[in-house]
Structure 1
Amino acid sequence: MATKYVYFFGNGDAEGDESMRPILGGKGANLAQMAKAPLSLPVPPGFTISIDVCQEYYKLGKKYPAGLDAEVAKYLNKLETTFGKKLGDENDPLLVSVRSGAAESMPGMMDTILNLGLNDKSVVGLANKTNNPRFAWDAYRRFIQMYGNVAMGVDHDKFEEIISSVKAKAGVKEDTELTTENLQEIVAKYKEMYKKEKGEDFPQDPQVQMWGAIGAVFGSWMNERAIIYRKLNNIDENVIKGTAVTVMAMVFGNMGETSGTGVAFSRDPSTGENHFMAEYLINAQGEDVVAGIRTPMDISALEKQQPEIFKEISTIRDRLEAHYHDMQDMEFTVQEGKLFMLQCRNGKRTGPAAVKMAVDMVAEKMITKEEALLRVKPDQLDQLLHPQFEAKALKSAKPLASALNASPGAGCGEIVFTADEAVAEDKAGKKVILVRKETSPDDIAGMYVAQGILTSTGGRTSHAAVVARGMGTPCVCGCSDVVFTGKDTVTIGGKEFKKGDYISIDGSTGKVYGEVIPVTPASVSGDLETFLSWADEVRNASVRTTPSGKTVKGFDVLANAEQNEAPQAFRFGAAGIGLCRTEHMFFEEPKLTSFQKMIISDTTEERKANLAAILPLQQKDFYGIIKTMEGRAVTIRLLDPPLNEFVQAETPELAAALAKKLGVSVEVINKKYSELNEHNPMLGHRGCRLAITYPEIYETQVEAIARATAQAEKEGLKHDVRIMIPNVTTFAELKQIRAQAEAVIANVNKELGTSLKFQIGSMIEFPRAAATANQIAEYADFFSFGTNDLTQTTFGFSRDDYSKFIDSYLDQKVLLQDPFKTLDEDGVGVMIGLAEEKGRAVKADLHLGICGEHGGDPASIALCYKLGLNYVSCSPFRVPAARLAGAQAVIKSNK
């Protein structure tokens, strides 16, 4: 049986449905679903060429598979019969749109062509048939511009220069003010310019046009903006394998005052509020709305003008949301008083909106808590934690302008006018606000790095708004008070600004300020607090069997934090501290000077004397941490980095300054610096190796921890302190260091009359440690996987230098993920699994977790859950995302 590539929809039936997203893409699958019962919505007929063809197209060197042309011809004929018009008919032509549609929505990233089928003869027929010459010639100029740019690569600006010159000559500002004669002049000039650019006439054969458009849509799967979008949104090309192409009969919103086009959201995509948010343009086509070319009106305009249409679209809004159990993004057209649905999809939304909708839909009994938790991407939670303007500073600030609050959050930075400028300034370490008339899909890279986006046209459903919301970037759209006065100048509310001047925008209120306004961090409260409490419930109740056959209950999220960061970590919901780095404490004075003196000391006695000066200061640090913990677990890692990090003497000036500070000769400093200098310090004299060479360093730290804990206990403070030994490669290291630590603790207990006990564990950071985990477990109460170093030593990649080649590896798909961002399951994951199996063979209840940066990565968290770890630990700001990702791992594993 021949492979089926084309699927029909329309006339109350369809060959596909919503379950066929991997074949028909999101657009094609949802059009088919809307067209057939039980929804049976007014959808123009059409057909969808499957994603399979896209894959074949690239495999065959941008050629189509055999038989596709005949299958398309068959379904085009069916479309013509169903709609009662023929493509290319000179008297009453069928016009079609050719649209992209991947299995996962990528709004604006791939190409669309409208009004296909018009030529010099059919435009006259369309004008006569509709008795509306202006409409026909407007459709033709749109088609030439869109096809010329998208399918044939003619610069968009060349078309804009022509239409601008005609408008200027005619003395009009808006496209809608152009007369039929103006449009005919534009068409003639477009064709003349096209021939000059391409060396041939604009194609008149509708079949040639259609196949050119189909090729353009398939080709747009690999255009730069689509590739960037997939990277930024972590869309895996091995899962989302291409785009489908939908060819659908055109209906027209630009046929006069009873026609129009709209984009609607069943709930507010910025805030999540349960109210119908829609925008409508009278006498316009859909691209005018989504491209931000014209600023639309609120849907209330349609309610006043055509109440029956408004009632119908409102009913459809409710039916679609009830069917899909999610907020819907819909496009519709009204053609001379008749409504047509052109698209529906689960709508893109901000992080705050995603959380609110999830919480509300659970309350409405539309979805379960588990479904709600799967609705929000972990990285969307970052948007709820973005800074807001300082209340006091905001109160005294005066807005210059106010427009549409398209994407919430506060943004402040220097003005730039192009995406390239934004990228360049970001690389230079500057924060920028991208100010544009409107944004286009090609601006994606600049939009990503900007602190905020301000446009003079467009609405909440324009490209700028939709993409900004997806990124969590503050955005204010449709600001008519933004007037471009030159290449590098703009007036906002009548005040002139140049490139590099500072402005602030509030995407929550739509206000624009001509000054720097300081910001403050957000906190976890309200709907987010409710939502994350569900995530905690799911994780805490989880029970799983590890690959080694052990049963593990619960899955905690801890934080990598020191004393100053701990309060923030707890505000974000961390259950404790999984990594407290002690080396940061040594960089503070007067500890630093004493520690530097210890490093340059030649005898054990000198080292101990200098460490004795540090001990009470370390005790104070540890006491502060224990007090801040309020009884939560805190794992303190003993000194980890090489000693050369504390002796800065790379230049004569630095050496002389350090010598003066420490009261020794420059020769002493240079000699010690030379001794400490290593070819590969990350694999050198650091971590537990320091304790083997200079046991007094760890002994001092352990004593400070013990005395601080004793002080806390004496004051009635709860405590749960654990000591972690880094860089272990053999059980003998841990055995020796543990014995030394326990001797110190025993001495403190004897002196103070306490009976303190501490869990002492090992970091697993090297393949050998994983391979001998059964031996290490004899002397460890817990393992913490230092996945930064474990990745480094498993791959043999220096994490300080791998940036020189990792992009090439990813671009050429030698690696599919950056292993320092997402855990490598086949290598590093095997090491973790081996350590889990061997360690728990010795101690069945051995507590396991990770404390590398992978602890905040959703895919890595899922792997940790699968491998049987008890917890992940990450930076404070990643804790909310990790709480959610952990719950999602539990839910997905139970399916």
Structure 2
Amino acid sequence: MVFFIGRVAESGVGLRLLEELIVPKYVYDFTEGNKDLRDLLGGKGANLAEMSNLGLPVPPGFTITTEACRKYLADAEIPVEEIATHLAKLEAAMGKRLGDPEDPLLVSVRSGAKFSMPGMMETVLNIGLNDASVHGLAAKSGNERFAWDSYRRLIQMFGRTVLGIDGEKFEEALEELKGGRADLDLDAADFRRLVGTYKEIVRAEKGREFPGDPREQMELAIRAVFDSWNASRAVLYRRQERIPADLGTAVNVVAMVFGNLGMDSGTGVAFTRDPASGQQGVYGDYLQNAQGEDVVAGIRNTVPLQELEKIDPTSYQELVDIMGRLEGHYRDLCDIEFTIERGKLWMLQTRVGKRTAAAAFRIAVQLVDEGLIDIDEAVVRCTGDQLAQLMFPRFADGAKNTLLTKGMNASPGAAVGRAVFSSARAVELAAQGVDVILVRRETNPDDLSGMIAARGVLTSRGGKTSHAAVVARGMGKTCVCGAEALEVDSRARRFTVGGTVVEEGDVVSIDGSTGAVYLGEVPVVASPVVEYFEGMPSGDELVAAVHRIMAHADGSRRLAVRANADTPEDAARARRFGAQGIGLCRTEHMFLGERRQLVEDLVLAETPAERQSALDALEPLQRADFAGLFEAMAGLPVTIRLIDPPLHEFLPDLVDLSVKVATGAGTEKDARLLAAVKRLHEQNPMLGLRGVRLGLVIPGLFAMQVRAIAQAARQATKARAEIMIPLVGAVQELESVREEALTILAEAGVHALIGTMIEVPRAALTAGQIAEAAQFFSFGTNDLTQMTWGFSRDDVEASFFGKYLDLGIFGVSPFESLDRDGVGRLMRIAVEEGRAARPDLKLGICGEHGGDPESVRFCHEIGLDYVSCSPFRVPVARLEAGRAALRSAGSDTR
């Protein structure tokens, strides 16, 4: 070790590395970093360093790292000595000292996390001004108004950001001083008076003087920026964007340059392409005689960036040249902030710009055609979430309809129709060609027909993983859940919100992307991207871009993509959307509606003969169901899950039936039904008599379904059947059902794979044993998540999910995106032990997570063969499967 240290110390570089190993380095000058150090320097600091390296006009400065932030959040300490050292270098470079009363150096203190979080954290400008240095700034600039304007800005920003004073108090004082005048009409005397007023506000609100020591101003500002990492709006933004909470933010200390020195100065924002459409050109805004926050705050109207060519042609041309250089260097749309100080252009920030979903696809393809990126990179840059946004219909902009309320945006899209309050009415009106919105307090399996018939679903209860939400998403149906302001009266067939009453037949519009509920008809704009997936020709430029991205994603992916489909119509749509089979057919959905009578007969059967009679009546109906699916899929695999939920879900409500019998209004059959419902009722049916347990306890039930599958497969032109046994927790359960199924298949001369759903934790932990009797596993992650966490998806969001999200226990709902550490670990165990026991074991996923982009990437990582999701999500899963393959092959993962 001594020899190693001695050799390392022989060179200056080695000595510096050794010093950093011994004493952590928390501060970097802009000349020491580059764009690849985003983890350490944050996006802003890394890009300021990169622009400095490119020789662009960047004000000197330094970055305090994200590691320093994490240390500060842990022990409240900042690297004071390192900051002082780098400040001294900055002062030397500028030839000025911070707060010098004769010629002050002023600095800004700005946040800058690894991932862009615009406006979520804090910035303080003009640090270094006090009662003495403001006169030095006025003298050196020759502009007294500018100096006092900068001083009042410092007190205002510092008071709000660092001292926590309500910003409205400063705004009110400014408006009172203006007395209807414009900002530019205020003179130096006005701003001098405003400084005094602002100081009085600080004294009144905080019981202290505004700090006049420039070093204290800087240190307090740095601490405030670090603290803003955990501000409520930053936490909410990270949760929305799924940004890890433990990254921390960097802080950038930058020499101030001034856009508020007069009409030959100004500030602006520029984009190298239109972030809304993706079109090439010069896009942005410019504001003369202003500092950066003025553009964001909108206190004065900006002018289009093109106007700068007339105002200052030299700076404009330099800016355009830099924009082209930066886009070529970053190989992407760049978002730029700049300031012009008396005709001198300064670059304050650049980053890869945020964009709409449509712009993302257009820009990716444009950059391929321009030779800046390859098609692999283009696919990686276009996300499944963006594709989903392009697929949902939307309301036209500028609608003036009355907003009734807002609920949870459970399933995106825009839907318009007449309010109806029962599934029967929805089916009736839909059959007449009337568009309807099904309005319920909450939905249940009985509402499936109404949900299918309706254009959209609106409930006053439930969350994003309630029955209404899950089923609606599976159908690609617009849904707003949990609109608590709605008082739904199904019997009176109306709902009220505030003072507004909406009767059955009144038109409402619901926006599943925002959760908004409107009175009346809001015009809907169809999605050309969905029409493309449906096979309709289109000359739309956006559709052409989507086609190129999707074609390459399909050619790159390893994961197959199947669909969850229960009807031939769903199956046919899934194929149009690119599904390579059915990964989950839920047979319980086939037992609703008119068939409930046959289920009741099965439950009431008192002898084997009565039971067999009920099964014999169901079998031809099941056979027709499966035949339709086989024909629709034309030889692609169809995974059929045998009946899963508790039988009492198909029976009348316990309370309603009890009242009917108790009041004498019921029949003898009602009395028998009541006894059966009581016998089958469970406090927690998720853990009760369902799945494989039904097949073992109800003789002939699973055998009937397997016979129907076998007969339908024989009749079909092409059929690849896969029979899935649900809720297996022990290999013995699977073996018992498997033997009977194999016998039936052999008698019919039909081959079918037999496997199981892994949805019970014990199944994942004993996967090696279960794989000896199963030819495939399909992870049922809805139930696996419930049983692993120990809560129900139907009511958890209404109880404590919100609090858990606020506390950071959940970054995102585990029902929306797979819990990698818990549920994901169980899946890894099952994959490894299952394949160890049976190397050719086929592995898939059929829970709601099969269409979630993050979850699809996880499924690729652990080696699954396919994912299965709702038909509408199939294109999203296809794209994400391609992205996962390209990322794992080493593409840029931006």
What TM-score range do you get, normalising by the shorter chain?
0.7 to 0.9
Conserved 8 A contact 1:413-1:516:
no
Q: TM-score, normalised by structure 2?
A: 0.78
Could you tell me which amino acid in structure 2 is paired with residue 609 of structure 1?
Answer: S
State the alpha-carbon separation in 2 of the partners of residues 269 and 667 from structure 1. Answer: 66
SS of the residue 2:80 aligns to = helix
Q: Which of 196, 200, 205 pairs up with 1:192?
A: 200
Matches within 5 A, 1:172-211: 172=181, 174-211=182-219
Q: Counterpart of 2:751? A: 757
Conserved 8 A contact 1:644-1:677:
yes
SS of the residue 2:273 aligns to = coil
State the alpha-carbon separation in 2 of the partners of residues 704 and 595 from structure 1. Answer: 16
Matches within 5 A, 1:455-474: none
Conserved 8 A contact 1:787-1:850:
yes
**Residues 1:671 and 1:275: Cα distance change in structure 2 (over 3 Å):** same
Conserved 8 A contact 1:655-1:670:
no
Matches within 5 A, 1:208-223: 208-223=216-231
2:271 counterpart of 1:269 = no
Could you tell me which amino acid in structure 2 is paired with residue 336 of structure 1?
Answer: R
Structure 1 residue 361, shift from structure 2 partner: 1.7
Structure 1 residue 795, shift from structure 2 partner: 4.9
State the alpha-carbon separation in 2 of the partners of residues 839 and 248 from structure 1. Answer: 57
Matches within 5 A, 1:392-407: none
**Residues 1:603 and 1:289: Cα distance change in structure 2 (over 3 Å):** farther
Q: Counterpart of 1:6? A: 27
Q: Counterpart of 2:47? A: 30
Conserved 8 A contact 2:409-2:511:
no
**Residues 1:48 and 1:825: Cα distance change in structure 2 (over 3 Å):** closer
Matches within 5 A, 1:425-436: 426=408
Structure 1 residue 504, shift from structure 2 partner: 10
Q: Percent identity?
A: 48
SS of the residue 2:336 aligns to = strand
State the alpha-carbon separation in 1 of the partners of residues 402 and 705 from structure 2. Answer: 44
Q: Which of 44, 69, 90 pairs up with 2:80?
A: 69
2:708 counterpart of 1:704 = yes
2:118 counterpart of 1:107 = yes
2:66 counterpart of 1:57 = no
Could you tell me which amino acid in structure 2 is paired with residue 350 of structure 1?
Answer: T
State the alpha-carbon separation in 2 of the partners of residues 299 and 826 from structure 1. Answer: 48
**Residues 1:515 and 1:91: Cα distance change in structure 2 (over 3 Å):** farther
Q: Counterpart of 2:442? A: none
Q: Which of 92, 95, 102 pairs up with 1:81?
A: 92
Structure 1 residue 830, shift from structure 2 partner: 4.6
Q: Counterpart of 2:16? A: none
Could you tell me which amino acid in structure 1 is paired with residue 38 of structure 2?
Answer: R
**Residues 1:567 and 1:203: Cα distance change in structure 2 (over 3 Å):** farther
SS of the residue 1:729 aligns to = coil
State the alpha-carbon separation in 2 of the partners of residues 845 and 427 from structure 1. Answer: 41
Matches within 5 A, 1:225-624: 225-238=233-246, 240=247, 242-389=248-395, 414=403, 426=408, 516-518=522-524, 520=526, 523=530, 524=533, 525-539=543-557, 554-563=558-567, 564-588=569-593, 590-624=594-628
Q: Counterpart of 2:775? A: 781
Q: Counterpart of 1:121? A: 132
- How big is each residue's C-alpha offset from its partner over 1:126-166, in whole Å with a ceiling of 9 and x where there is no partner? 23332323322222222211111001111011111112222
CA-atom RMSD in angstroms: 3.5
Could you tell me which amino acid in structure 1 is paired with residue 779 of structure 2?
Answer: F
2:856 counterpart of 1:868 = no
Consecutive unaligned residues of structure 1, counting only runs of 5 or more, are 401-411, 417-421, 433-497, 540-553, 750-754
**Residues 1:621 and 1:291: Cα distance change in structure 2 (over 3 Å):** farther
Q: Which of 653, 671, 680 pairs up with 2:684?
A: 680
SS of the residue 1:216 aligns to = helix
SS of the residue 1:18 aligns to = coil
Could you tell me which amino acid in structure 1 is paired with residue 220 of structure 2?
Answer: G
Structure 1 residue 861, shift from structure 2 partner: 3.0
Conserved 8 A contact 2:413-2:511:
no
Structure 1 residue 513, shift from structure 2 partner: 13
Could you tell me which amino acid in structure 2 is paired with residue 243 of structure 1?
Answer: T
SS of the residue 1:371 aligns to = helix
Conserved 8 A contact 2:394-2:413:
no
State the alpha-carbon separation in 1 of the partners of residues 662 and 861 from structure 2. Answer: 50
Matches within 5 A, 1:705-744: 705-713=709-717, 718-744=718-744
SS of the residue 2:843 aligns to = strand
- How big is each residue's C-alpha offset from its partner over 1:807-831, in whole Å with a ceiling of 9 and x where there is no partner? 6667667777755444445554454
State the alpha-carbon separation in 1 of the partners of residues 410 and 801 from structure 2. Answer: 22
- How big is each residue's C-alpha offset from its partner over 1:609-638, in whole Å with a ceiling of 9 and x where there is no partner? 233333333333333333332433221111
SS of the residue 1:279 aligns to = strand
State the alpha-carbon separation in 2 of the partners of residues 375 and 413 from structure 1. Answer: 38
Conserved 8 A contact 1:350-1:383:
no
Conserved 8 A contact 1:649-1:655:
no
**Residues 1:850 and 1:515: Cα distance change in structure 2 (over 3 Å):** closer
Conserved 8 A contact 2:646-2:690:
yes
Q: Which of 156, 178, 181 pairs up with 1:145?
A: 156
State the alpha-carbon separation in 2 of the partners of residues 324 and 873 from structure 1. Answer: 36
Structure 1 residue 93, shift from structure 2 partner: 2.2
**Residues 1:830 and 1:46: Cα distance change in structure 2 (over 3 Å):** closer
- How big is each residue's C-alpha offset from its partner over 1:743-797, in whole Å with a ceiling of 9 and x where there is no partner? 44456x4xxxxx5432222222234434544554444332212223334444555
Q: Which of 880, 889, 894 pairs up with 1:894?
A: 889
- Of 120-129 and 346-355, deviating more is 120-129
SS of the residue 1:326 aligns to = coil
SS of the residue 1:4 aligns to = coil
Could you tell me which amino acid in structure 1 is paired with residue 138 of structure 2?
Answer: A
SS of the residue 2:36 aligns to = helix
Conserved 8 A contact 2:657-2:670:
no
Structure 1 residue 188, shift from structure 2 partner: 2.5
State the alpha-carbon separation in 1 of the partners of residues 500 and 882 from structure 2. Answer: 44
**Residues 1:350 and 1:737: Cα distance change in structure 2 (over 3 Å):** same
Consecutive unaligned residues of structure 2, counting only runs of 5 or more, are 1-18, 415-497, 502-507, 534-542
Q: TM-score, normalised by structure 1?
A: 0.78
State the alpha-carbon separation in 2 of the partners of residues 819 and 863 from structure 1. Answer: 14
- How big is each residue's C-alpha offset from its partner over 1:45-76, in whole Å with a ceiling of 9 and x where there is no partner? 1122222221221221x232xxx323322322
State the alpha-carbon separation in 2 of the partners of residues 883 and 46 from structure 1. Answer: 45
Conserved 8 A contact 1:415-1:503:
no
